Amino acid sequence: MARLNISQHAPQGYQAVLDLDRYVRENLDHVLLDLVKLRASQLNGCGFCVDMHATDLEKLGQPTRRIYAVSAWRETDFFTERERAALALTEAVTLITTGVDDAVWAEAARLFPERELSDLLLAIGTINVWNRVAVSTHAAPPPLAG
């Protein structure tokens, strides 16, 4: 059971995060964005967001095997060079206590123009906010049909 409905008790703050999420969705490729959101959500143990972004990737026509492989992306050839750089950056930023390795940063900077790299960092930050809110408040995905 959810502990707190932040949208009810802090609607302006909740709306600010929604607005940032809308901004990154308008400025990044949707598949890339949902891959990043899925990977961060896996790392953060957010069942609500893992379910949402895996489902979003399905709706975008992504193969099921590719969605399953996000948690082990380094071990497959299912991802483009840009996606791999974005996933590596997502892991580094999400697990920020170890910092962002220079090689990870350099690869992302090589493959993404500065504006897109900026938007990617904002997207990674935003999904981490959502994950922390959802995990802290015990948000749960909708029940399975059937």
More confident call, 140 vs 108: 108
How confident is residue 143, by pLDDT bands cut at 50, 70 and 90? Answer: confident
pLDDT at residue 146 greater than cutoff 80: no
- Asked if residues 40 and 124 have their Cβ atoms less than 8 Å apart, the reply is yes
Q: Domain coordinates of the chain in residue numbers?
A: 28-133
Read off the pLDDT of residues 39-96 as tens digits, 9 standing for 90 and up: 999 999 999 999 999 999 999 999 999 999 999 999 999 999 999 999 999 999 999 9
- Name the CATH superfamily, with its identifier, for domain 28-133: AhpD-like (1.20.1290.10)
Cα dist from 12 to 20, 37, 102, whole Å: 12, 23, 36
pLDDT at residue 145 greater than cutoff 90: no
Read off the pLDDT of residues 90-134 as tens digits, 9 standing for 90 and up: 999 999 998 999 999 999 999 999 999 999 999 999 999 999 999
Confidence (pLDDT) at 53: 98
Helix/strand/coil (H/E/C) assignment for every residue in the chain: CCCCCHHHHCHHHHHHHHHHHHHHHHHCCHHHHHHHHHHHHHHHCCHHHHHHHHHHHHHCCCCHHHHHHHHHHHHCCCCCHHHHHHHHHHHHHHCHHHCCCHHHHHHHHHHCCHHHHHHHHHHHHHHHHHHHHHHHHCCCCCCCCC
- Asked if residues 16 and 122 have their Cβ atoms less than 8 Å apart, the reply is no
